[in-house]
């Protein structure tokens, strides 16, 4: 049933222009950054060759894509999650889901799986873009994998938060605005946690992503992203369960 719901959401997602526009926008911006960074590397290549311990192709041309990618996910995920639950409520189809012989856990996990699949598609295209440079050079595969893992974990955390906010309203636009406000708040926390000793570093999602950008896959950072994801999914399930009891 979870996979059935996920398949339905993916089909609905790609039957509308929104998913295609988001996908094209994200890939277009990342491709622009990638080409610019790659061009900068080619210009400075001779100078880098004479510099001890200089940054390589991966650090200069590939890692910047993921730095931009986190901001693109921050802006685009609210548009994708806004309709997952709130539109069901607005169209009066949530009543059928609630009365169907399926659990709230299956509904939420199915919709979350659809979002995770969409994020995986974005990362797959980014990976293909990064691997294209192997035709004329070598890359740090470990650094690339760490960035892919980090961006995926950040993306699913954003998706879980967006799904929960979508459970709180019947208006998709309101859900998108609230999600964007929350994500901007997380971005402000990241700016405020510039001090390495600040306690904000503990709760900043974007700050924890920086470790992955440096090629370090920390167990604590992975666990933190997973805890945040599970926490908001559980909140979403409890929210729908409470609405089922009131129905």
Measured between alpha carbons, how far is 54 from 14 in angstroms, rounded to an integer?
43
- Burial call 214-225: b when 16+ CB within 10 Å, e when fewer: ebeeeeebbebb
pLDDT for residue 188: 82
Of 70, 90, 52, nearest to 172 by C-alpha is: 90
Q: Give the number of other Cβ atoms within 10 Å of residue 107's Cβ.
A: 23
By the 8 A CB rule, do 159 and 120 touch?
Answer: no
Q: What is the pLDDT along the chain (247 residues), one digit of tens a residue?
A: 888 889 988 998 888 898 999 999 999 999 999 999 888 888 877 776 667 766 777 888 889 999 999 999 999 999 999 888 888 777 777 767 777 778 889 999 999 999 999 999 999 999 999 898 888 778 888 999 999 999 999 999 999 999 999 988 888 899 999 999 988 888 887 777 666 666 666 677 888 888 898 888 889 999 999 999 999 999 999 988 887 777 5
Q: Where are the domains of the chain?
A: 2-246
pLDDT for residue 198: 65
pLDDT for residue 44: 77
By the 8 A CB rule, do 180 and 75 touch?
Answer: yes
Instruction: List the structure tokens of 52.
Output: 């001890």
pLDDT for residue 196: 61
**HEC-encoded secondary structure of 129-167:** HHHHHHHCCCCCHHHHHHHHHHHHHHHHHHHHHHHHHHC
pLDDT for residue 190: 74
Our measurement of the distance from residue 45's CA atom to the centroid of its chain's CA atoms, rounded to an integer in Å, reads: 32
């Amino acid at each position: 049933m979870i996979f059935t719901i996920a398949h339905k959401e993916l089909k609905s997602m790609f039957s509308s222009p929104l998913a295609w526009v988001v996908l094209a926008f994200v890939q277009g911006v990342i491709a622009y950054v990638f080409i610019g960074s790659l061009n900068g590397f080619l210009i400075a290549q001779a100078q880098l060759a004479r510099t001890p311990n200089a940054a390589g192709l991966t650090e200069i041309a590939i890692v910047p894509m993921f730095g931009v990618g986190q901001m693109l996910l921050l802006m685009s995920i609210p548009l994708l999650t806004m309709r997952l639950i709130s539109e069901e409520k607005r169209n009066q189809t949530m009543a059928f889901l609630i009365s169907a012989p399926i659990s709230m856990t299956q509904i939420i996990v199915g919709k979350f799986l659809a979002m995770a699949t969409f994020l995986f598609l974005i990362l797959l295209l980014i990976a293909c873009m990064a691997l294209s440079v192997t035709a004329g050079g070598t890359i740090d595969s470990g650094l690339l994998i760490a960035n892919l893992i980090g961006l995926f974990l950040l993306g699913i955390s954003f998706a879980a938060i967006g799904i929960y906010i979508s459970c709180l309203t019947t208006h998709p636009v309101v859900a998108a605005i609230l999600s964007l406000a929350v994500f901007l708040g997380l971005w402000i926390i990241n700016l405020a946690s510039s001090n390495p000793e600040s306690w904000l570093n503990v709760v900043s999602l974007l700050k924890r992503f920086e470790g992955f950008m440096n090629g370090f896959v920390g167990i604590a950072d992975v666990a933190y992203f997973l805890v945040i994801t599970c926490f908001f999914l559980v909140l979403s399930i409890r929210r729908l369960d409470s609405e089922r009891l009131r129905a």
